[in-house]
Protein backbone atom coordinates (compact mmCIF):
# COMPACT_ATOMS: atom_id res chain seq x y z
CA UNK A 1 0.00 0.00 0.00
CA UNK A 2 1.38 3.37 -0.93
CA UNK A 3 0.18 6.93 -0.59
CA UNK A 4 3.37 8.34 -2.09
CA UNK A 5 3.04 11.30 -4.45
CA UNK A 6 2.15 10.22 -7.98
CA UNK A 7 5.01 8.96 -10.13
CA UNK A 8 3.55 10.63 -13.23
CA UNK A 9 6.33 12.62 -14.92
CA UNK A 10 3.88 15.49 -15.50
CA UNK A 11 3.71 16.25 -11.77
CA UNK A 12 6.25 18.53 -10.15
CA UNK A 13 6.97 16.54 -6.97
CA UNK A 14 8.05 19.59 -4.92
CA UNK A 15 4.97 21.53 -5.95
CA UNK A 16 2.76 18.53 -5.16
CA UNK A 17 4.32 18.31 -1.68
CA UNK A 18 3.83 22.02 -1.05
CA UNK A 19 0.20 21.92 -2.18
CA UNK A 20 -0.32 18.82 -0.05
CA UNK A 21 0.82 20.75 3.02
CA UNK A 22 -1.48 23.80 2.67
CA UNK A 23 -3.81 24.01 5.72
CA UNK A 24 -6.89 24.56 3.55
CA UNK A 25 -9.80 26.77 4.55
CA UNK A 26 -12.95 24.83 3.62
CA UNK A 27 -15.16 27.91 3.26
CA UNK A 28 -18.38 26.03 2.57
CA UNK A 29 -18.89 22.67 4.23
CA UNK A 30 -21.42 20.85 6.39
CA UNK A 31 -20.94 18.39 9.24
CA UNK A 32 -19.88 14.76 8.97
CA UNK A 33 -22.36 11.97 9.81
CA UNK A 34 -23.22 11.29 13.43
CA UNK A 35 -24.51 7.73 13.00
CA UNK A 36 -23.53 4.59 11.10
CA UNK A 37 -25.30 4.18 7.75
CA UNK A 38 -26.44 1.20 5.70
CA UNK A 39 -25.10 0.53 2.20
CA UNK A 40 -28.28 1.96 0.70
CA UNK A 41 -27.99 5.12 2.80
CA UNK A 42 -24.29 5.48 1.97
CA UNK A 43 -24.97 5.16 -1.76
CA UNK A 44 -27.75 7.74 -1.54
CA UNK A 45 -25.33 10.13 0.15
CA UNK A 46 -22.69 9.95 -2.61
CA UNK A 47 -24.98 11.36 -5.30
CA UNK A 48 -26.97 14.56 -5.66
CA UNK A 49 -29.96 12.51 -6.82
CA UNK A 50 -32.71 12.37 -4.20
CA UNK A 51 -34.28 9.31 -5.84
CA UNK A 52 -33.68 5.71 -4.70
CA UNK A 53 -30.72 3.97 -6.36
CA UNK A 54 -32.14 1.52 -8.96
CA UNK A 55 -31.56 -2.15 -8.14
CA UNK A 56 -29.63 -2.73 -11.38
CA UNK A 57 -26.85 -0.23 -10.59
CA UNK A 58 -24.65 1.04 -7.79
CA UNK A 59 -23.52 4.62 -7.10
CA UNK A 60 -20.05 3.18 -6.57
CA UNK A 61 -19.91 2.91 -10.39
CA UNK A 62 -19.37 6.66 -10.76
CA UNK A 63 -16.49 9.12 -10.57
CA UNK A 64 -17.09 9.83 -6.89
CA UNK A 65 -17.59 6.12 -6.12
CA UNK A 66 -14.30 5.17 -7.78
CA UNK A 67 -12.59 8.07 -5.97
CA UNK A 68 -13.86 6.75 -2.60
CA UNK A 69 -12.45 3.29 -3.36
CA UNK A 70 -9.17 4.70 -4.65
CA UNK A 71 -8.41 7.43 -2.13
CA UNK A 72 -10.40 6.72 1.05
CA UNK A 73 -9.71 2.98 1.28
CA UNK A 74 -6.03 3.50 2.25
CA UNK A 75 -7.04 5.90 5.03
CA UNK A 76 -9.21 3.12 6.45
CA UNK A 77 -6.30 0.66 6.24
CA UNK A 78 -7.23 -1.09 2.97
CA UNK A 79 -5.39 -1.29 -0.33
CA UNK A 80 -6.68 1.13 -2.97
CA UNK A 81 -9.53 -0.05 -5.24
CA UNK A 82 -11.27 -2.60 -3.03
CA UNK A 83 -14.75 -3.71 -4.05
CA UNK A 84 -17.58 -1.73 -2.44
CA UNK A 85 -18.53 -4.65 -0.13
CA UNK A 86 -15.01 -4.80 1.33
CA UNK A 87 -14.90 -1.03 1.70
CA UNK A 88 -18.25 -0.79 3.49
CA UNK A 89 -17.45 -3.79 5.70
CA UNK A 90 -14.26 -2.05 6.83
CA UNK A 91 -16.17 1.18 7.34
CA UNK A 92 -18.70 -0.64 9.51
CA UNK A 93 -15.96 -2.38 11.49
CA UNK A 94 -14.25 0.92 12.34
CA UNK A 95 -17.53 2.73 13.10
CA UNK A 96 -18.53 6.24 12.07
CA UNK A 97 -16.63 8.00 14.84
CA UNK A 98 -13.29 6.44 13.87
CA UNK A 99 -14.01 6.82 10.14
CA UNK A 100 -14.74 10.52 10.74
CA UNK A 101 -11.58 10.95 12.78
CA UNK A 102 -9.36 9.33 10.15
CA UNK A 103 -10.84 10.91 7.02
CA UNK A 104 -11.37 14.40 8.45
CA UNK A 105 -7.91 14.58 10.01
CA UNK A 106 -6.19 13.30 6.85
CA UNK A 107 -7.93 16.03 4.79
CA UNK A 108 -5.55 18.58 6.33
CA UNK A 109 -8.13 21.34 6.74
CA UNK A 110 -6.88 24.35 8.70
CA UNK A 111 -10.26 26.02 9.29
CA UNK A 112 -13.85 24.96 8.59
CA UNK A 113 -16.72 27.33 7.79
CA UNK A 114 -19.71 25.12 8.48
CA UNK A 115 -23.17 25.80 7.06
CA UNK A 116 -25.73 24.52 9.53
CA UNK A 117 -29.04 25.09 7.73
CA UNK A 118 -29.70 21.59 6.31
CA UNK A 119 -30.76 18.47 8.30
CA UNK A 120 -28.56 19.62 11.18
CA UNK A 121 -29.55 16.83 13.58
CA UNK A 122 -27.96 14.11 11.39
CA UNK A 123 -24.52 15.70 11.19
CA UNK A 124 -21.82 17.08 13.49
CA UNK A 125 -22.28 20.73 14.44
CA UNK A 126 -19.33 23.16 14.16
CA UNK A 127 -18.19 22.50 17.75
CA UNK A 128 -18.07 18.75 17.17
CA UNK A 129 -16.32 19.16 13.80
CA UNK A 130 -13.72 21.17 15.67
CA UNK A 131 -13.48 18.57 18.46
CA UNK A 132 -12.84 15.73 15.96
CA UNK A 133 -10.19 17.60 13.97
CA UNK A 134 -8.62 19.93 16.50
CA UNK A 135 -9.14 22.78 14.02
CA UNK A 136 -11.38 25.85 14.36
CA UNK A 137 -14.87 25.51 12.88
CA UNK A 138 -17.02 28.63 12.53
CA UNK A 139 -20.61 28.90 11.42
CA UNK A 140 -22.23 30.14 8.23
CA UNK A 141 -25.93 30.89 8.76
CA UNK A 142 -28.56 30.12 6.15
CA UNK A 143 -30.92 33.09 5.67
CA UNK A 144 -33.94 30.96 4.70
CA UNK A 145 -33.61 28.86 7.88
CA UNK A 146 -33.65 32.01 10.03
CA UNK A 147 -36.83 33.23 8.31
CA UNK A 148 -38.50 29.83 8.64
CA UNK A 149 -37.68 29.70 12.35
CA UNK A 150 -39.27 33.14 12.82
CA UNK A 151 -42.49 31.90 11.21
CA UNK A 152 -42.42 28.54 13.04
CA UNK A 153 -42.09 30.38 16.35
CA UNK A 154 -45.07 32.60 15.50
CA UNK A 155 -45.42 36.04 13.94
CA UNK A 156 -48.03 38.06 12.11
CA UNK A 157 -47.44 39.52 8.64
CA UNK A 158 -46.80 43.08 9.95
CA UNK A 159 -44.25 41.84 12.49
CA UNK A 160 -42.34 39.51 10.17
CA UNK A 161 -39.74 41.98 8.83
CA UNK A 162 -38.75 43.28 12.27
CA UNK A 163 -38.67 39.81 13.83
CA UNK A 164 -36.52 38.51 10.98
CA UNK A 165 -34.13 41.44 11.40
CA UNK A 166 -33.72 40.72 15.13
CA UNK A 167 -33.39 36.96 14.60
CA UNK A 168 -30.77 37.43 11.89
CA UNK A 169 -28.56 39.57 14.11
CA UNK A 170 -28.95 37.16 17.04
CA UNK A 171 -28.28 34.03 14.98
CA UNK A 172 -25.29 35.53 13.15
CA UNK A 173 -23.59 37.20 16.12
CA UNK A 174 -20.61 34.81 15.97
CA UNK A 175 -21.05 33.70 12.34
CA UNK A 176 -18.42 34.27 9.66
CA UNK A 177 -20.85 34.37 6.76
CA UNK A 178 -24.39 34.00 5.49
CA UNK A 179 -25.78 31.71 2.82
CA UNK A 180 -28.81 31.83 0.53
CA UNK A 181 -30.46 28.98 -1.36
CA UNK A 182 -32.59 31.25 -3.53
CA UNK A 183 -31.44 29.06 -6.46
CA UNK A 184 -33.32 26.13 -4.87
CA UNK A 185 -36.35 28.01 -3.68
CA UNK A 186 -37.05 30.13 -6.77
CA UNK A 187 -34.15 30.41 -9.27
CA UNK A 188 -31.63 33.18 -9.81
CA UNK A 189 -33.95 34.95 -12.28
CA UNK A 190 -35.52 37.22 -9.64
CA UNK A 191 -36.08 40.98 -9.64
CA UNK A 192 -32.77 42.17 -8.12
CA UNK A 193 -34.18 45.25 -6.33
CA UNK A 194 -34.93 45.24 -2.61
CA UNK A 195 -38.71 44.91 -2.10
CA UNK A 196 -40.58 47.67 -0.28
CA UNK A 197 -41.81 47.18 3.29
CA UNK A 198 -45.39 46.99 1.97
CA UNK A 199 -44.46 44.26 -0.52
CA UNK A 200 -42.72 42.29 2.25
CA UNK A 201 -45.72 42.51 4.57
CA UNK A 202 -48.11 41.42 1.80
CA UNK A 203 -45.83 38.51 0.87
CA UNK A 204 -45.47 37.50 4.54
CA UNK A 205 -49.28 37.42 4.77
CA UNK A 206 -49.47 35.11 1.73
CA UNK A 207 -46.79 32.90 3.27
CA UNK A 208 -48.52 32.66 6.66
CA UNK A 209 -51.80 31.65 4.96
CA UNK A 210 -49.91 28.98 3.00
CA UNK A 211 -48.30 27.67 6.22
CA UNK A 212 -51.75 27.39 7.83
CA UNK A 213 -53.07 25.58 4.76
CA UNK A 214 -50.16 23.14 4.24
CA UNK A 215 -48.65 22.80 7.70
CA UNK A 216 -45.18 23.25 6.13
CA UNK A 217 -42.90 26.22 6.78
CA UNK A 218 -40.92 26.72 3.60
CA UNK A 219 -40.07 30.12 2.11
CA UNK A 220 -40.40 30.19 -1.70
CA UNK A 221 -41.96 33.61 -2.42
CA UNK A 222 -39.44 35.60 -4.53
CA UNK A 223 -40.40 38.84 -2.72
CA UNK A 224 -39.46 37.30 0.64
CA UNK A 225 -36.32 35.65 -0.76
CA UNK A 226 -35.19 39.03 -2.13
CA UNK A 227 -35.92 40.60 1.22
CA UNK A 228 -33.74 38.01 3.02
CA UNK A 229 -30.90 38.57 0.56
CA UNK A 230 -30.98 42.35 0.95
CA UNK A 231 -31.17 42.16 4.76
CA UNK A 232 -28.25 39.73 4.52
CA UNK A 233 -26.28 42.22 2.43
CA UNK A 234 -27.05 44.92 5.00
CA UNK A 235 -25.85 42.60 7.76
CA UNK A 236 -22.48 42.94 6.04
CA UNK A 237 -21.09 39.42 6.37
CA UNK A 238 -19.80 37.62 3.25
CA UNK A 239 -22.84 36.14 1.49
CA UNK A 240 -22.69 32.69 -0.12
CA UNK A 241 -25.03 31.75 -3.00
CA UNK A 242 -25.76 28.20 -4.07
CA UNK A 243 -25.08 28.24 -7.84
CA UNK A 244 -25.48 25.53 -10.46
CA UNK A 245 -25.19 21.84 -9.67
CA UNK A 246 -27.15 20.37 -6.78
CA UNK A 247 -30.04 17.98 -6.14
CA UNK A 248 -33.07 17.96 -8.50
CA UNK A 249 -34.88 20.60 -6.45
CA UNK A 250 -32.64 23.06 -8.26
CA UNK A 251 -33.87 24.05 -11.71
CA UNK A 252 -30.40 24.04 -13.23
CA UNK A 253 -31.18 26.29 -16.18
CA UNK A 254 -32.31 28.99 -13.73
CA UNK A 255 -29.16 28.73 -11.61
CA UNK A 256 -26.63 30.20 -14.04
CA UNK A 257 -24.73 32.91 -12.11
CA UNK A 258 -25.03 35.29 -15.06
CA UNK A 259 -28.63 35.76 -13.90
CA UNK A 260 -27.26 37.54 -10.80
CA UNK A 261 -25.75 40.44 -12.77
CA UNK A 262 -28.43 42.92 -11.68
CA UNK A 263 -28.07 42.06 -8.00
CA UNK A 264 -24.28 42.07 -8.18
CA UNK A 265 -24.31 45.60 -9.64
CA UNK A 266 -26.91 46.91 -7.16
CA UNK A 267 -24.95 45.41 -4.24
CA UNK A 268 -21.54 46.56 -5.47
CA UNK A 269 -21.45 49.88 -3.51
CA UNK A 270 -21.88 47.90 -0.24
CA UNK A 271 -18.60 46.03 -0.86
CA UNK A 272 -20.06 42.84 0.67
CA UNK A 273 -18.28 39.79 -0.80
CA UNK A 274 -20.72 37.64 -2.81
CA UNK A 275 -19.43 34.07 -2.97
CA UNK A 276 -20.73 31.87 -5.78
CA UNK A 277 -20.58 28.25 -4.62
CA UNK A 278 -19.84 25.22 -6.85
CA UNK A 279 -21.08 26.85 -10.05
CA UNK A 280 -20.63 23.66 -12.14
CA UNK A 281 -21.35 23.54 -15.09
CA UNK A 282 -21.42 27.37 -15.12
CA UNK A 283 -18.01 27.81 -13.47
CA UNK A 284 -16.63 29.61 -16.52
CA UNK A 285 -19.49 32.12 -16.27
CA UNK A 286 -18.62 32.55 -12.58
CA UNK A 287 -14.99 33.14 -13.54
CA UNK A 288 -16.13 35.92 -15.85
CA UNK A 289 -18.21 37.57 -13.10
CA UNK A 290 -15.28 37.27 -10.67
CA UNK A 291 -13.05 39.02 -13.19
CA UNK A 292 -15.33 41.95 -13.93
CA UNK A 293 -16.99 42.60 -10.53
CA UNK A 294 -14.85 43.37 -7.46
CA UNK A 295 -17.52 41.98 -5.08
CA UNK A 296 -17.71 38.51 -6.73
CA UNK A 297 -15.75 35.39 -5.69
CA UNK A 298 -16.34 31.74 -6.59
CA UNK A 299 -15.36 28.12 -6.04
CA UNK A 300 -15.93 24.82 -7.85
CA UNK A 301 -16.61 22.93 -4.58
CA UNK A 302 -19.18 20.25 -5.22
CA UNK A 303 -18.09 19.87 -8.84
CA UNK A 304 -14.67 18.61 -7.78
CA UNK A 305 -15.95 15.68 -5.69
CA UNK A 306 -18.45 14.50 -8.23
CA UNK A 307 -16.12 14.67 -11.22
CA UNK A 308 -13.45 12.54 -9.48
CA UNK A 309 -10.68 11.65 -11.93
CA UNK A 310 -12.02 14.38 -14.27
CA UNK A 311 -11.86 17.10 -11.61
CA UNK A 312 -8.49 18.17 -13.04
CA UNK A 313 -10.39 19.68 -15.98
CA UNK A 314 -12.88 21.47 -13.72
CA UNK A 315 -10.10 22.96 -11.59
CA UNK A 316 -8.20 23.97 -14.75
CA UNK A 317 -11.31 25.75 -16.08
CA UNK A 318 -11.73 27.55 -12.76
CA UNK A 319 -8.32 29.14 -13.34
CA UNK A 320 -9.10 30.78 -16.68
CA UNK A 321 -10.58 34.29 -16.40
CA UNK A 322 -10.81 35.01 -12.68
CA UNK A 323 -8.01 36.86 -10.91
CA UNK A 324 -6.42 34.35 -8.53
CA UNK A 325 -7.43 36.48 -5.53
CA UNK A 326 -11.11 35.75 -6.36
CA UNK A 327 -11.06 31.91 -6.33
CA UNK A 328 -11.66 29.89 -3.14
CA UNK A 329 -11.59 26.25 -2.06
CA UNK A 330 -14.57 24.37 -0.65
CA UNK A 331 -15.69 20.76 -0.41
CA UNK A 332 -19.42 21.33 0.23
CA UNK A 333 -19.28 17.92 1.90
CA UNK A 334 -22.43 16.87 3.77
CA UNK A 335 -22.57 13.57 5.64
CA UNK A 336 -20.05 10.84 4.78
CA UNK A 337 -16.56 12.01 5.79
CA UNK A 338 -15.39 10.51 2.50
CA UNK A 339 -16.78 13.67 0.87
CA UNK A 340 -14.85 15.97 3.23
CA UNK A 341 -11.70 13.96 2.56
CA UNK A 342 -12.10 13.80 -1.21
CA UNK A 343 -12.97 17.49 -1.48
CA UNK A 344 -9.53 18.37 -0.14
CA UNK A 345 -7.62 15.51 -1.74
CA UNK A 346 -9.08 15.92 -5.24
CA UNK A 347 -8.60 19.70 -5.14
CA UNK A 348 -4.94 19.29 -4.12
CA UNK A 349 -4.45 16.57 -6.76
CA UNK A 350 -6.05 18.64 -9.51
CA UNK A 351 -4.27 21.86 -8.55
CA UNK A 352 -0.88 20.12 -8.44
CA UNK A 353 -1.49 18.63 -11.89
CA UNK A 354 -2.75 21.84 -13.49
CA UNK A 355 -0.05 24.08 -12.03
CA UNK A 356 2.71 21.54 -12.73
CA UNK A 357 1.69 21.82 -16.39
CA UNK A 358 2.02 25.61 -16.32
CA UNK A 359 5.46 25.33 -14.69
CA UNK A 360 6.63 22.58 -17.09
CA UNK A 361 5.58 24.72 -20.05
CA UNK A 362 7.67 27.60 -18.73
CA UNK A 363 4.57 29.81 -18.34
CA UNK A 364 4.72 30.05 -14.54
CA UNK A 365 7.56 29.75 -12.04
CA UNK A 366 7.21 27.20 -9.26
CA UNK A 367 7.11 30.09 -6.76
CA UNK A 368 4.15 31.62 -8.59
CA UNK A 369 2.41 28.25 -8.61
CA UNK A 370 2.89 27.71 -4.87
CA UNK A 371 1.75 31.23 -4.07
CA UNK A 372 -1.42 30.93 -6.18
CA UNK A 373 -2.30 27.50 -4.76
CA UNK A 374 -1.93 28.92 -1.24
CA UNK A 375 -4.13 31.91 -2.11
CA UNK A 376 -6.91 29.71 -3.52
CA UNK A 377 -6.58 27.02 -0.86
CA UNK A 378 -6.47 29.28 2.18
CA UNK A 379 -5.31 32.90 1.87
CA UNK A 380 -8.27 34.29 -0.07
CA UNK A 381 -10.79 32.82 2.38
CA UNK A 382 -8.77 34.11 5.34
CA UNK A 383 -8.93 37.61 3.88
CA UNK A 384 -12.61 37.50 2.76
CA UNK A 385 -13.90 36.09 6.07
CA UNK A 386 -11.42 37.92 8.31
CA UNK A 387 -10.00 34.71 9.79
CA UNK A 388 -6.57 36.16 10.55
CA UNK A 389 -3.34 34.19 10.17
CA UNK A 390 -3.37 30.38 10.35
CA UNK A 391 -2.63 29.06 13.86
Contact flag: residue 144 with Zn ion (CB under 5 A): no
The least CB distance from residue 115 to Zn ion, in Å, is: 5
Q: Which is nearer to Zn ion, 144 or 332 (CB)?
A: 332
The 3 state secondary structure assigned to 147-187 is HHHHHHHCCCHHHHHHHHHHHHHHHCCCCCEEEECHHHHCC
Instruction: Give buried/exposed letters for 90-122 (b at 16+ CB in 10 A, else e).
Output: bbeebebeebbbbbbbbbbbbbbbbbbbeeeee
End-to-end alpha carbon distance in the chain: 32
User: What are the residues facing 335 on neighbouring strands?
Assistant: 32
**221 scored as a contact of Zn ion (CB under 5 A):** no
Spatial separation of the C-alpha atoms in residues 52 and 66, rounded to whole Å: 20
Shortest Å, Cβ 28 to Zn ion: 6
Residue with the CB atom nearest Zn ion in the bound state: 332
- Least separation in angstroms between CB 253 and Zn ion: 20
Nearer to Zn ion, 116 or 155 (CB): 116
Q: Where are the alpha helices (DSSP H) in the chain?
A: 13-20, 39-45, 63-67, 84-94, 96-106, 126-133, 143-153, 157-171, 182-185, 197-214, 222-235, 261-267, 283-292, 301-307, 311-318, 337-360, 366-374, 380-384
Asked if residue 332 binds Zn ion (CB under 5 A), the reply is: yes
Options 60-68, 208-216, 327-335, 366-374: segment touching Zn ion (CB under 5 A): 327-335
Nearer to Zn ion, 108 or 301 (CB): 301
Q: How many CA atoms lie within 13 A of 316 on its CB side?
A: 12
Strand partners, 297: 275
Site string for Zn ion, 26-65 (x = CB under 5 A): ----------------------------------------
Q: Which of residues 139 and 332 has its CB atom nearest to Zn ion in the complex?
A: 332
Q: Which is nearer to Zn ion, 332 or 338 (by Cβ)? A: 332
Between 116 and 370, whose beta carbon lies closer to Zn ion?
A: 116
**Is the CB of 16 or the CB of 332 nearer to Zn ion?**
332
Dist. CA 160–CA 149, nearest whole Å = 11
**CA–CA separation, 112 vs 28, rounded Å?**
8
Q: Considering only the stretches 70-78, 131-139, 209-217, 326-334, report the one whose residues sit in contact with Zn ion under the rule CB under 5 A.
A: 326-334
Q: At its nearest, how many Å lie between Zn ion and the CB of residue 238?
A: 15
**Span of 50-58, 282-290, 329-337, 376-384 interacting with Zn ion by CB under 5 A:** 329-337
- Choose the binding region for Zn ion from 122-130, 231-239, 265-273, 324-332 (rule: CB under 5 A): 324-332
Size, binding site for Zn ion by CB under 5 A: 1
> Could you list the residues that contact Zn ion (CB under 5 A)?
332
Amino acid sequence: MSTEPSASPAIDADLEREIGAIPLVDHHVHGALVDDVSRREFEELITESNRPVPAWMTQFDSQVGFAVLRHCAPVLGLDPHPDPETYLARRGELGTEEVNRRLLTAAGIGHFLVETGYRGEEILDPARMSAVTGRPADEVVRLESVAERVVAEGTDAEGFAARFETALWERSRAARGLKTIVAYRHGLDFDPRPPTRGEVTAAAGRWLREVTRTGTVRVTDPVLLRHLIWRGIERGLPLQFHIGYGDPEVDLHRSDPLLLRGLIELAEPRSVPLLLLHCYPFHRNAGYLAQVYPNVYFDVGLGVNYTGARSVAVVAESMELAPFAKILFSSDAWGPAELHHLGALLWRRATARVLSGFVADGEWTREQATRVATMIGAGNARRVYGLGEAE
